[in-house]
Homo-oligomer: A and B are copies of this chain.
Protein backbone atom coordinates (compact mmCIF):
# COMPACT_ATOMS: atom_id res chain seq x y z
CA UNK A 1 0.00 0.00 0.00
CA UNK A 2 0.95 3.56 -0.59
CA UNK A 3 1.60 5.93 2.17
CA UNK A 4 -1.20 8.36 1.71
CA UNK A 5 0.69 11.49 1.04
CA UNK A 6 3.34 10.28 -1.36
CA UNK A 7 1.45 8.57 -4.12
CA UNK A 8 3.32 6.87 -6.94
CA UNK A 9 3.12 8.17 -10.43
CA UNK A 10 1.09 6.31 -13.02
CA UNK A 11 1.67 8.75 -15.82
CA UNK A 12 3.04 12.18 -16.39
CA UNK A 13 2.60 14.76 -19.12
CA UNK A 14 5.83 16.55 -19.89
CA UNK A 15 5.79 19.69 -21.90
CA UNK A 16 2.87 18.40 -23.89
CA UNK A 17 1.74 20.44 -26.88
CA UNK A 18 -0.96 19.38 -29.24
CA UNK A 19 -1.99 20.73 -32.62
CA UNK A 20 -5.14 20.26 -34.64
CA UNK A 21 -3.49 21.17 -37.91
CA UNK A 22 -2.56 24.78 -37.29
CA UNK A 23 -4.56 25.16 -34.12
CA UNK A 24 -2.54 24.69 -30.97
CA UNK A 25 -5.00 23.13 -28.57
CA UNK A 26 -2.65 22.16 -25.71
CA UNK A 27 0.14 24.38 -24.52
CA UNK A 28 3.08 22.95 -22.56
CA UNK A 29 1.14 20.81 -20.20
CA UNK A 30 3.09 19.37 -17.31
CA UNK A 31 1.03 17.26 -15.02
CA UNK A 32 1.31 14.09 -12.95
CA UNK A 33 -1.34 11.38 -12.77
CA UNK A 34 -1.12 9.43 -9.56
CA UNK A 35 -1.63 5.73 -9.34
CA UNK A 36 -5.02 4.53 -8.06
CA UNK A 37 -6.29 8.07 -7.64
CA UNK A 38 -9.05 9.95 -9.41
CA UNK A 39 -7.91 13.07 -11.17
CA UNK A 40 -10.58 15.49 -12.40
CA UNK A 41 -10.09 17.83 -15.32
CA UNK A 42 -12.19 20.96 -15.18
CA UNK A 43 -12.33 24.12 -17.21
CA UNK A 44 -14.59 26.06 -19.54
CA UNK A 45 -15.74 24.63 -22.81
CA UNK A 46 -13.10 24.47 -25.48
CA UNK A 47 -10.20 24.71 -23.04
CA UNK A 48 -8.74 21.41 -24.21
CA UNK A 49 -9.91 18.89 -21.62
CA UNK A 50 -11.06 16.33 -24.15
CA UNK A 51 -8.04 16.97 -26.30
CA UNK A 52 -5.74 16.27 -23.38
CA UNK A 53 -7.61 13.17 -22.33
CA UNK A 54 -7.61 11.76 -25.83
CA UNK A 55 -3.87 12.24 -26.11
CA UNK A 56 -3.32 9.48 -23.58
CA UNK A 57 -4.77 6.73 -25.71
CA UNK A 58 -3.62 8.27 -28.98
CA UNK A 59 -7.19 8.79 -30.14
CA UNK A 60 -5.98 11.72 -32.20
CA UNK A 61 -4.03 9.33 -34.40
CA UNK A 62 -7.33 8.35 -35.99
CA UNK A 63 -7.64 11.68 -37.74
CA UNK A 64 -5.21 13.23 -40.14
CA UNK A 65 -3.39 16.47 -39.44
CA UNK A 66 -3.07 16.08 -35.68
CA UNK A 67 0.33 16.46 -34.11
CA UNK A 68 1.80 15.88 -30.67
CA UNK A 69 4.86 17.45 -29.14
CA UNK A 70 6.36 16.54 -25.78
CA UNK A 71 5.82 13.36 -23.85
CA UNK A 72 3.38 11.43 -21.82
CA UNK A 73 5.46 9.13 -19.63
CA UNK A 74 3.71 5.99 -18.58
CA UNK A 75 4.75 4.01 -15.52
CA UNK A 76 5.94 1.54 -14.36
CA UNK A 77 7.52 0.89 -17.73
CA UNK A 78 8.49 4.52 -18.12
CA UNK A 79 7.94 4.82 -21.83
CA UNK A 80 6.61 7.76 -23.73
CA UNK A 81 3.09 6.96 -24.94
CA UNK A 82 3.49 9.46 -27.76
CA UNK A 83 6.73 8.08 -29.15
CA UNK A 84 6.51 7.04 -32.78
CA UNK A 85 7.95 3.68 -31.84
CA UNK A 86 5.03 3.03 -29.56
CA UNK A 87 2.15 1.22 -31.16
CA UNK A 88 -1.05 3.17 -30.49
CA UNK A 89 -2.97 -0.08 -30.48
CA UNK A 90 -0.84 -1.42 -27.63
CA UNK A 91 -1.44 1.83 -25.78
CA UNK A 92 -5.18 1.55 -26.20
CA UNK A 93 -5.03 -2.04 -25.00
CA UNK A 94 -3.64 -0.87 -21.68
CA UNK A 95 -5.94 2.11 -21.29
CA UNK A 96 -9.72 2.20 -21.14
CA UNK A 97 -11.97 5.03 -22.22
CA UNK A 98 -15.57 5.99 -21.58
CA UNK A 99 -17.14 8.69 -23.69
CA UNK A 100 -19.50 11.55 -23.02
CA UNK A 101 -22.38 9.93 -24.81
CA UNK A 102 -22.76 6.23 -24.12
CA UNK A 103 -21.74 4.45 -27.32
CA UNK A 104 -22.62 0.79 -27.02
CA UNK A 105 -22.16 -1.20 -30.20
CA UNK A 106 -25.36 -2.36 -31.86
CA UNK A 107 -24.66 -5.87 -30.66
CA UNK A 108 -25.78 -7.90 -27.67
CA UNK A 109 -24.88 -6.87 -24.16
CA UNK A 110 -22.59 -9.87 -23.90
CA UNK A 111 -20.78 -9.11 -27.13
CA UNK A 112 -20.27 -5.52 -26.13
CA UNK A 113 -18.38 -6.53 -23.04
CA UNK A 114 -16.59 -9.42 -24.70
CA UNK A 115 -15.47 -7.23 -27.57
CA UNK A 116 -12.18 -6.11 -26.08
CA UNK A 117 -11.26 -9.69 -25.30
CA UNK A 118 -12.17 -10.92 -28.76
CA UNK A 119 -10.02 -8.21 -30.24
CA UNK A 120 -7.19 -9.66 -28.22
CA UNK A 121 -7.85 -13.06 -29.75
CA UNK A 122 -9.67 -14.59 -26.82
CA UNK A 123 -12.35 -16.95 -28.06
CA UNK A 124 -12.64 -19.49 -25.30
CA UNK A 125 -16.23 -19.15 -24.19
CA UNK A 126 -15.50 -20.19 -20.60
CA UNK A 127 -12.95 -17.42 -20.21
CA UNK A 128 -15.21 -14.93 -21.94
CA UNK A 129 -18.19 -15.78 -19.76
CA UNK A 130 -16.12 -15.28 -16.64
CA UNK A 131 -14.60 -12.04 -17.73
CA UNK A 132 -17.89 -10.62 -18.91
CA UNK A 133 -19.57 -11.35 -15.62
CA UNK A 134 -16.69 -9.89 -13.68
CA UNK A 135 -16.69 -6.70 -15.75
CA UNK A 136 -20.45 -6.27 -15.50
CA UNK A 137 -20.24 -6.75 -11.76
CA UNK A 138 -17.44 -4.24 -11.61
CA UNK A 139 -19.60 -1.74 -13.43
CA UNK A 140 -22.48 -2.38 -11.01
CA UNK A 141 -24.87 -3.47 -13.70
CA UNK A 142 -24.68 -7.24 -13.44
CA UNK A 143 -27.89 -7.63 -11.49
CA UNK A 144 -29.84 -5.56 -13.97
CA UNK A 145 -28.69 -7.41 -17.05
CA UNK A 146 -27.68 -10.89 -15.99
CA UNK A 147 -30.88 -12.38 -17.38
CA UNK A 148 -30.75 -10.57 -20.69
CA UNK A 149 -27.16 -10.80 -21.84
CA UNK A 150 -28.32 -11.67 -25.33
CA UNK A 151 -30.45 -8.57 -25.71
CA UNK A 152 -29.27 -5.72 -27.87
CA UNK A 153 -27.31 -3.17 -25.91
CA UNK A 154 -28.89 -0.06 -27.46
CA UNK A 155 -32.21 -1.10 -25.90
CA UNK A 156 -30.84 -0.34 -22.45
CA UNK A 157 -31.60 2.97 -20.77
CA UNK A 158 -29.05 5.74 -21.00
CA UNK A 159 -27.61 5.14 -17.56
CA UNK A 160 -27.40 1.42 -18.14
CA UNK A 161 -25.71 1.98 -21.46
CA UNK A 162 -23.08 4.15 -19.85
CA UNK A 163 -22.39 1.52 -17.20
CA UNK A 164 -22.20 -1.07 -19.95
CA UNK A 165 -19.56 1.06 -21.66
CA UNK A 166 -17.67 1.15 -18.40
CA UNK A 167 -17.92 -2.62 -18.17
CA UNK A 168 -16.62 -2.85 -21.71
CA UNK A 169 -13.63 -0.78 -20.72
CA UNK A 170 -13.10 -2.77 -17.50
CA UNK A 171 -13.22 -6.16 -19.17
CA UNK A 172 -9.68 -5.85 -20.43
CA UNK A 173 -8.21 -4.79 -17.08
CA UNK A 174 -6.94 -1.37 -18.10
CA UNK A 175 -4.31 0.33 -16.00
CA UNK A 176 -5.70 3.79 -16.56
CA UNK A 177 -9.33 4.69 -17.21
CA UNK A 178 -10.22 7.83 -19.13
CA UNK A 179 -13.69 9.30 -18.61
CA UNK A 180 -14.83 12.18 -20.84
CA UNK A 181 -17.84 13.76 -19.15
CA UNK A 182 -19.39 10.36 -18.56
CA UNK A 183 -22.53 11.70 -16.89
CA UNK A 184 -23.45 14.73 -18.93
CA UNK A 185 -26.08 12.85 -20.90
CA UNK A 186 -27.54 11.21 -17.83
CA UNK A 187 -30.20 12.10 -15.35
CA UNK A 188 -29.28 12.65 -11.70
CA UNK A 189 -30.05 9.13 -10.59
CA UNK A 190 -27.88 7.49 -13.22
CA UNK A 191 -25.24 10.09 -12.51
CA UNK A 192 -25.23 9.09 -8.86
CA UNK A 193 -24.74 5.45 -9.74
CA UNK A 194 -21.76 6.24 -11.88
CA UNK A 195 -20.15 8.48 -9.32
CA UNK A 196 -20.49 5.67 -6.83
CA UNK A 197 -18.83 3.38 -9.29
CA UNK A 198 -15.88 5.69 -9.84
CA UNK A 199 -15.40 5.66 -6.14
CA UNK A 200 -15.33 1.87 -6.13
CA UNK A 201 -13.07 1.59 -9.13
CA UNK A 202 -10.26 3.70 -7.83
CA UNK A 203 -9.33 0.91 -5.48
CA UNK A 204 -8.13 -0.93 -8.51
CA UNK A 205 -7.35 1.51 -11.31
CA UNK A 206 -6.17 4.98 -11.95
CA UNK A 207 -8.86 7.32 -13.27
CA UNK A 208 -8.73 10.54 -15.22
CA UNK A 209 -12.13 12.20 -15.53
CA UNK A 210 -13.32 15.28 -17.40
CA UNK A 211 -16.34 17.01 -15.98
CA UNK A 212 -18.29 20.24 -16.31
CA UNK A 213 -19.88 19.71 -13.01
CA UNK A 214 -17.99 21.25 -10.09
CA UNK A 215 -19.93 19.29 -7.53
CA UNK A 216 -19.03 16.13 -9.30
CA UNK A 217 -15.37 17.02 -9.42
CA UNK A 218 -15.47 17.86 -5.72
CA UNK A 219 -17.31 14.65 -4.88
CA UNK A 220 -15.33 12.08 -6.80
CA UNK A 221 -11.77 13.26 -7.31
CA UNK A 222 -8.59 13.19 -5.30
CA UNK A 223 -6.78 15.64 -7.54
CA UNK A 224 -8.13 18.38 -9.73
CA UNK A 225 -6.61 20.11 -12.70
CA UNK A 226 -8.01 23.38 -13.98
CA UNK A 227 -7.41 24.10 -17.63
CA UNK A 228 -7.99 27.30 -19.49
CA UNK A 229 -7.39 28.04 -23.18
CA UNK A 230 -5.20 25.01 -23.65
CA UNK A 231 -3.05 25.65 -20.61
CA UNK A 232 -2.94 23.87 -17.30
CA UNK A 233 -3.56 26.70 -14.85
CA UNK A 234 -3.59 24.85 -11.63
CA UNK A 235 -3.20 21.30 -10.37
CA UNK A 236 -3.50 20.05 -6.87
CA UNK A 237 -5.40 18.06 -4.32
CA UNK A 238 -9.09 18.55 -4.87
CA UNK A 239 -9.73 19.82 -1.34
CA UNK A 240 -7.08 22.43 -1.73
CA UNK A 241 -8.14 23.53 -5.19
CA UNK A 242 -11.72 23.95 -4.15
CA UNK A 243 -11.00 25.59 -0.82
CA UNK A 244 -8.11 27.89 -1.65
CA UNK A 245 -7.26 27.99 -5.34
CA UNK A 246 -3.94 29.67 -6.00
CA UNK A 247 -4.86 31.19 -9.30
CA UNK A 248 -7.41 33.95 -9.72
CA UNK A 249 -8.83 32.33 -12.86
CA UNK A 250 -9.41 29.05 -11.09
CA UNK A 251 -11.13 30.79 -8.27
CA UNK A 252 -13.41 32.73 -10.60
CA UNK A 253 -14.34 29.63 -12.45
CA UNK A 254 -15.04 27.56 -9.39
CA UNK A 255 -16.92 30.11 -7.41
CA UNK A 256 -18.78 31.42 -10.42
CA UNK A 257 -20.07 27.96 -11.04
CA UNK A 258 -20.69 26.57 -7.61
CA UNK A 259 -24.17 27.97 -7.45
Contact = CB atoms under 8 A, between A and B. Distances in A.
Copies in the complex: 2
A109 to B, nearest CB: 20
Contacts of A233: none
6 contacts: A44-B187, A44-B189, A45-B187, A187-B212, A192-B256, A192-B257
Interface of A: 44-46, 157-159, 184, 186-190, 192, 212, 214-215, 218-219, 253, 256-257, 259
Contact of A189 (B45, B189, B214): B45
Contact of A45 (B158, B184, B256, B257): B158
A189 to B, nearest CB: 5
B188 A214 contact: yes
Contacts of A253: 188
Nearest to A186: B45
A158 B46 CA distance: 10
A2 to B, nearest CB: 28
A101 B192 CA distance: 23
A189 B45 CA distance: 8
A256 B259 CA distance: 16
A216 to B, nearest CB: 8
A175 to B, nearest CB: 30
Contacts of A218: 259
A188 B46 contact: no
Given A45-B159, A46-B187, 8 more contacts: A45-B157, A45-B158, A45-B188, A45-B189, A189-B256, A192-B257, A215-B259, A219-B259
